[in-house]
Amino acid sequence: MSAPDVTLRPLRPSDHATVITVIDDWWGGRQMADMLPRLFFEHFTDTCFAAERDGELAGFLVGFLSQSRPAEAYIHFVGVHPGARGAGLGRRLYQEFFGVVRAHGRTVVRAVTAPVNTGSVAFHRRMGFEIEPGPPAAATTRWPPATTAPGRTGSGSPGTCAESRACGYPSARRNLSPRSARRSAGSFANTRRR
């Protein structure tokens, strides 16, 4: 499945069931569905995208404009079908998001990834993100809590954290503006793109 064969469109509320059905399999059986509540598919559709090939879901990106940091946007979750990886689809989803948030005046994009997910860390670096370390005190904080829902337990394993400050996982950032791209953050923590 090549990236040019794929069509991008805004996520719709009706996509939630489809994404939740495949997400755990796309993450090798890890329980990830709890990280994507339906509200993302209802309230952030301007900054969330589905990638389709022949009417089938090939990937998605869930992101939003920060409400408390007017220069920033945040990529909460990205998924690419295992059979579509390595063909540039993740890059296309990120570029689509960058274009939308840039049009809203955002100059920094943040995302979170787990340090053990070396493929994700490498991808973010290739996309121009700087890795920033999580705060040392947060490393002892467990997220998700031991019980996340009736009958389910949180593993606390890398990659299950939705916010680096809550669990100490590194995140990344990338600057979107040419001027800020020349400045170095000088640290490794949240995935951040300028």
pTM, two decimals, is 0.73
Q: Is the pLDDT of residue 66 over 90?
A: yes
1-46, pLDDT tens digit by residue?
A: 445 689 999 999 999 999 999 999 998 888 989 889 998 999 899 9
CA distance 188 to 133: 4
Whats the size of the chain, residue-wise? Answer: 194
CA distance 109 to 18: 26
CATH number, domain containing residue 45: 3.40.630.30
pLDDT band (50, 70, 90) for residue 135: low
Average model confidence (pLDDT) across the chain: 75
Domain that residue 133 falls in: 108-194
Residue 194's pLDDT is 59
Residue 113's pLDDT is 83
Mark which of 86, 106, 126 sits at the end of a domain.
106
Mark which of 72, 106, 140 sits at the end of a domain.
106
